[in-house]
Amino acid sequence: MADDVAPCTASAYLDPSYWDERFGKEEHYEWFKDFSHFRHLLVPLLSPSLSVLEVGCGNSRLGEELLREGVAGGITCIDLSPVAVQRMRDRLAEQGTSGVDVVVADMLDLPFESESFDLVIEKGTMDVLFVDSGDPWNPNPTTVDNVMKMLEGIHKVLKPGGIFVSVTFGQPHFRRRFFEAPGFTWSVKWSTFGDGFHYFFYSLQKGKRSAESHGPQDALPAAPSINMFHEELESEDYIFLTNVDEL
């Protein structure tokens, strides 16, 4: 990432104008590692017939990676930034790539019909909602409202049996209270990947929540210890890391 696109403060990530300016300068950036680092976790969930929604695509190349994996049921990538959307459209056109539809849309107000997609994926997008959340154990009401709007929209557009994948720094301590909120019917599973410190790969399958599923008030596992490698300290990803050991 070039220094001239880095924000002065983390709260700048909540400003749409920041993203328009950034995407006007930046060709490509992959939040929380590129596809190759979590391919082993995502590929078992894929099939050629899947219809896929990527939420907050930015200038990622995840949509193209899914095409290369044989997903042919339609890939839709959305972003709030018209600049990001147009630049991705231009890139795909220059490559002669078809099968990826790029749309300007708000992740808090998804413009799709109910049960439209087999797979919804976000990578680092939800983390943006937490950059100015206050106490991670008790986020401010605006953060809670926005995260719930995002999840409610995703739950709505997923088909029965569809899967929501979230690639994030958000530890289960802080995500399960949202993922397991009343009204959601999905199961919640997670894995980790990455060296030095963990990124989390959550998979939530609609309609598969069991009666034994732990509620948000139940005891949660201890936080993993985290050590940052130099290369990761130099990336933007660490801004979104909440290390409970420091609280």
pLDDT in tens, the chain (247 residues): 444 566 666 666 677 776 667 766 766 667 778 899 999 999 999 999 999 999 999 889 999 999 999 999 999 999 999 999 999 999 999 999 999 999 999 999 999 999 999 999 999 999 989 988 888 889 999 999 999 999 999 999 999 999 999 999 899 989 999 999 999 999 999 999 988 778 999 999 999 997 655 443 344 334 443 333 333 334 455 445 544 333 3
- The pLDDT score that the predictor gives to residue 214 is 47
Backbone angles phi, psi at 122, to 5 degrees: -135, 140
Q: Three-state SS for 183?
A: coil
Q: Decide if 31 contacts 123 (C-beta within 8 A).
A: yes
Q: How far apart are CA 219 and CA 215, in angstroms?
A: 9
- The pLDDT score that the predictor gives to residue 7 is 61
H or E segment at 230? helix 230-233
- Here the tokens at position 100 are 């990826």
Q: Where are the domains of the chain?
A: 47-206
Q: How far apart are CA 80 and CA 16, in angstroms?
A: 7
| Closest C-alpha to 50, from 158, 194, 199, 167 | 158
- Here the tokens at position 133 are 């959340």
Using the CB atoms, write b or e for 61-73: b if 16+ within 10 Å.
bbbbebbebebee
Q: Report helix angle 82-95 to 16-25, nearest 10.
A: 30
| Closest C-alpha to 166, from 54, 64, 60, 58 | 54
Hey, what CATH class is 47-206 in?
A: alpha beta
Q: How far apart are CA 224 and CA 245, in angstroms?
A: 9
CA-derived radius of gyration, the chain: 17
Q: Three-state SS for 41?
A: helix
